[in-house]
Amino acid sequence: MTPEKVVKNFARCSDWEERYLYLIELGEQLPNFPQEQMTEQFLLPGCHSRVWLVQRYQDDQLNIRATSDAALVKGLLKLVLIAYDGKSKNQVCDFDIEAWFKQLELSSHLSPSRTQGLEAMVRAITAFAVHND
């Protein structure tokens, strides 16, 4: 799945209710997250829902595993993984995720707490990408 494909799929939805359902479906595509990593160590601060995030570089590519206790947040995590997982440091830094989110009209259709959580996810991943390679 690519960011462009997500934009096309969003455009096919007739309204935001369908887009929310699509986000939930995306969240169901997240790989299984190991139960033993659902600890405070991997809990992401700044999110209303509980979000666990594990990141590492492997062969110069960012490898991200993540999950949440909320279905919609899992969908938002999947969006972030579509943008960043498997990418190099330069690709992570060069991708304009804010423009992509604007194209998807996320900020105008998410609650302020969901928007803040999404921003916290992006900050955590981009900070890791910049400082660990």
Q: Which residues are catalytic?
A: 47
CB 64, CB 54: distance < 8 Å: yes
The C-alpha atoms of residue 44 and residue 81 are separated, in whole angstroms, by 15
Q: Which residues contact 92 (CB under 8 A, 6 or more apart)?
A: 62, 84, 125, 126, 129, 130
